[in-house]
Amino acid sequence: MIHITLPDGSRKPFEDYPTGLTVAKSISEGLARDCVAMEVDGNLVDLDRPIQADASIRLITTRDPEALEIMRHSAAHVMAQAVLVLYPDAKLTIGPVVEDGFYYDIDMPPLSEEAFPKIEAEMKRIIKQKIPIRRHEVSKAEALSFYKDEPYKTEMIDALADGTISFYKQGDFTDLCRGPHVPHTGFVRAVKLMRVSGAYWRADQSKAQLQRIYGTAFFDKKQLKEYLHFLEEAKKRNHRKIGAAMDLFSFHDDAPGMAFFHPKGMAVWNALLDFWRDAHRAAGYVETKTPIILQRTLWEKSGHWENYRENMYTTEVDEQAYAIKPMNCPGGMLLYSTRPHSYRELPIRAAEIGLVHRHELSGVLNGLFRVRAFHQDDAHLFMMPEQIQAEILDLLRLEEQVYSKFGLDFHLELSTRPEKSIGSDEQWDTATNGLRSALDAYGKEYRINEGDGAFYGPKIDLHIKDALGRTWQCGTIQLDMSLPERFDLTYVGRDNEKHRPIMLHRTVFGSIERFLGILIEHFEGKFPLWLAPVQAAILPINDDLIPFAESMATTMRDAGLRVEVDDRTESLNRKVREAQLAKTPLILTCGGKEKEAGTVSVRTLDGTVRYGIPMDQFMQKVTAHVAERCLALDLFDE
C-alpha cells in the first residue's frame, strides 16, 4: 500500500504504484486533464512516473508557474522534431528554456525567418496529434550506441558520469534530456518562432557555427497574443532607437559596450545626478571619488581577484600589475582608513559616482542595459552594530523616495549566502539576520532569494516595475562584515577601545547608464519636464520674429531652463511636428499677437494648446514645476 500526502495534508492510499495521473484522476477528471507534471518530495518529475514509496506530492497544473517552463521545454522538442522532418540532415545539439521562451541550437545550413511558417506548420501538425511524450532510461553505452551518428549528442554523453541516462521519445523522435515534460504534445497549445541567429557550439569560435532558433509558447492563444502585443509595445519603446532619434547617445566599434553621450544626453544625465545629489545631501551623505586603476595587491586583499577576476580588465605600470576597478568598494575602504574614527562620527555615509569597467562577452552587450563601462551610484556606510536596522530603514525610505519621482513601484528580495563566498558562518548569520529584521520593520512584503547574495555578504535587492510591467533590479543594499576585517578598519568606541565597524554597500540607480535606459523605455522618451533634454522649443512663425523668440529663450535660459529656438525657414506645422517627434514637453509658438501682448501660446505633447498665457505667469509655473521635479505635466490645468 502506497500512501500519498497532498499539499493540504490529506493522505490517500493506493494499492499499486500510482502515477501522478492516477492521483489526479482520484481527485477529479478535470484536474487530471489540466495536470502537466508533479512534484514528489520536492523534485519535479513527469506525471506518468510511478511513485514507489510513500511520498508527499504536489500536482503541477497549467496555472502553476513551473508549468510554463516545463511546457516550453517540450515545445523545444516539438520544434526540433519539426526541423528534422523538414531538414533530415540537421544535427541537434541543445534546446534549453530561456526567459520568455526557448531555443534550440542546430547544425544545419543558414536559416532565415522566411522558413518559419513551414516549420510552425509542421509543429502544429505534431501538436494536433497529441503524441505521448515518454521517458526512457538507458545505460551510457546504450546511449552512445543510439547516437553513434550524432556528434554533438555523443560529445554530451561522453561528458556524463557512468550510470543511467534519460531519453524522451514522442512518436519517431527521440532526444537526450533530463526532463520533465508535459504528458503529450497537445499541451503546446500556442507557439510561435521568434528569430534565428548564429551561435558557436560550446560558445567557442573555433567550433562549428550553429543555427539558434528561438521560439515562445503559451497554454492558450490569448496569452500568446498578449505577449506579441507586449513585444510590439517594447519595440516602440526601445531605448536604443529612441536614444538615437532624440540624439542622446551612441555606440561605436572603437569602444564596444561603452556609451558616448551627446550634449542632449548629458543634459538628462546631469539633471538625473543633480536630483541624486540633492536627495543624498538631504539624507546626510558626503560624496567621494576614487581612482579607476588600483594595484592587483589591493584586489587580492579585497577578495575580488579570487572571486571576480574573469570580469576585470588588467594592465601593467612600472612592472606592477594593476586592475581597472569593476566596483568601488576597495577604494572606499582606503578612504575610511586614512584617519582614525570615533563612535561619535558613525554612521558615516560616503557616496561615489564611480566609473567602473567589467568585461562582458560581446554577444550579451545590449545598448545601455549591458555595457562594459558604466557609472555606479555606490555608497559605503560605516556603522556600529546597533545602528544596522535604523540605517537600512533609512536606506529603504531613500530608495522609495527616489523611485517615486519617476512613478516607479518596486518589490524587495532578500538574497542569501552563495556557494562562492568569503567570511565565517557567524558573520553571514549576523549579516543576514540584520537585513531580515530591517525588512520586517519596514513592513513591505519581500521574497527570499536563496544563494544569490554577493560573495562578501547577503543583500536586499530592489526590483522596480516599468510602464510595461517589466521588472529591473536596480537598487541594492549589501551588509558586509568581511571587507572591514580584511582592511582592518576600526573605530574607537565609548569604552575607548577599538572596534570593527559594520559596513553597508548600496546603490539606488545601480548602473546610471542602465537606469537611464530603463527611464527612456518607461517614459517612451517623454521625460518629465525636469528631466527632458530640451524642455521647451520656441517656434517663431516668421523670420521677423526670430529676435523676439531669442529674447524669450534668453529669459528662460537665465531661469535655468533648457530651450531651443527653431529659426529654420519651414512651415509652422512642420516645426511643431518635429518638436513632437523630439518629445519636447513644451512647444511655444511665437507670433505677432504674443509679441504685442507679452504672452505665450503653449502646446504640450498630448496635443493640448493653450493660448495667451502671460509670460510672467508661464515662467513662474514652469520654474516651480521644474524645481519640485513634478512627474505629471499639469502646469495649466484648471
Reported as a single tens digit per residue, the pLDDT across 64-73 is: 989 999 999 9
Give the active site residue among 49, 153, 192, 505.
Answer: 505
Mean pLDDT of 473-480: 90
**pLDDT of 580 strictly over 60:** yes
Whether residue 505 is annotated as binding a ligand: the answer is yes
* For the chain, the helix, strand and coil percentages under 3-state DSSP, each to the nearest 5: 40, 30, 30
pLDDT tens profile 324-338: 999 999 999 999 999
Specify the pLDDT at position 638: 54
pTM of the predicted model, to two decimals? Answer: 0.82
Task: Find the DSSP H helices in 246-371.
Answer: 263-282, 296-302, 304-308, 329-336
Give the active site residue among 35, 177, 329, 590.
Answer: 329
- Spell out where 7-73 has E strands: 11-14, 35-40, 43-46, 55-61
Mean pLDDT of 411-428: 87
State the CB neighbour count (10 A cutoff) for residue 195.
11
Give the active site residue among 211, 376, 478, 535.
Answer: 376
Q: Where are the domains of the chain?
A: 2-61, 66-224, 249-290+327-523, 536-628
135: its cell numbers: 521517458
User: Among 605, 539, 618, which Cα is nearest to 575's?
Assistant: 539
pLDDT tens profile 295-309: 999 999 988 888 888
> Backbone dihedral region of 31: left (phi > 0), alpha (psi from -120 to 50 degrees) or beta?
alpha
Instruction: Give me the architecture of the 249-290+327-523 domain, per CATH.
Output: 2-Layer Sandwich (3.30)
The CATH number of the domain covering residues in 66-224? 3.30.980.10
**CATH class of segment(s) 2-61:** alpha beta
Specify the pLDDT at position 454: 79
Instruction: Please state, in angstroms and rounded to a whole number, the distance separating the CA atoms of residues 70 and 59.
Output: 13
**Any catalytic annotation for residue 544?**
no
Asked if 185 and 152 touch (Cβ cutoff 8 Å), the reply is no
Mean pLDDT of 158-167: 92
Whether residue 474 is annotated as binding a ligand: the answer is no
**Any catalytic annotation for residue 329?**
yes
User: Among 13, 301, 302, which Cα is nearest to 23's?
Assistant: 13
Distances (CA, A) of 340 to 324, 344, 487, 519: 28, 12, 13, 41
**pLDDT of 396 strictly over 60:** yes
pLDDT tens profile 560-579: 999 999 999 889 999 999 99
Give the active site residue among 237, 349, 417, 459.
Answer: 459
Return the biggest CA–CA distance within the chain.
97
Mean pLDDT of 218-241: 94
Contacts (Cβ under 8 Å, ≥6 apart) of 171 = 81, 126, 129, 131
**Any catalytic annotation for residue 376?**
yes
The CATH number of the domain covering residues in 536-628? 3.40.50.800
Specify the pLDDT at position 333: 94
* Beta-sheet pairing, 43-46 with 35-40: antiparallel
Specify the pLDDT at position 637: 63
Asked if 147 and 197 touch (Cβ cutoff 8 Å), the reply is no
Mean pLDDT of the chain: 93
Specify the pLDDT at position 635: 74
- Say which DSSP state 542 is in: S
Give the active site residue among 49, 239, 357, 380.
Answer: 380
Q: Which of 349-363, 445-459, 507-521, 549-563 has the lowest mean pLDDT?
A: 445-459
